[in-house]
Amino acid sequence: MSMPQLIAGEDPGTYRVNRPFTEAQLLHLAKMMARKRLSKGASLNRPTQVHQCLQTLMLDYPHEVFGILCLDSQHRLIAFDELFRGTIDSASVYPREVVKHALHHNAAAVILVHNHPSGDPEPSDADRRITQRLKEALGLMEIRTLDHVVVGHEGFVSLAERGWL
């Protein structure tokens, strides 16, 4: 079955589809729109929209995935990459690899992200510790850590909004 087509609605930011669609097709369309919003050069100045896009892109993984958004000095997206995959309840994250990746993209700032396959986005103590280690390692290279977003089926949590950065 082919994908339904999105047709621009009369109001900005609204869409119609040309025929009925399945739940899987709806998720696929949502991921396409999230990727478009997080495409290279996109200005990431609305945190809630960024968090929602990240949740959409990472919510259906059966294992933990850790990713990074590399940003320029104007907080425009350079790259969004998934760096580490783990098990159902953890992923090994290596600060050296995160720093190398950010330097490779000449990032001035980063947003860290990972999912919780359980659905509960509440950050663990281990999440908070790795965030601090990464912030310190990246800071040595003068790369700002703007946020670490944890996403799950039940929503998302921004460590920056909680004051934990």
Domain ranges of the chain: 1-37, 43-158
Catalogue the E-assigned strands of 61-154. 65-71, 77-85, 109-115, 144-152
Question: What is 43-158's CATH superfamily?
Answer: Cytidine Deaminase, domain 2 (3.40.140.10)
CB 31 within 8 A of CB 56: yes
- How confident is the chain (165 residues) per 10-residue block, as mean pLDDT? 71 76 76 79 80 85 95 94 93 97 98 94 96 98 96 92 93
CB 25 within 8 A of CB 4: yes
Q: Residues 117-146: pLDDT tens digits? A: 999 999 999 999 999 999 999 999 999 999
Gyration radius of the chain over CA positions: 17
Q: What is the pLDDT of residue 1?
A: 55
Q: What is the pLDDT of residue 4?
A: 67
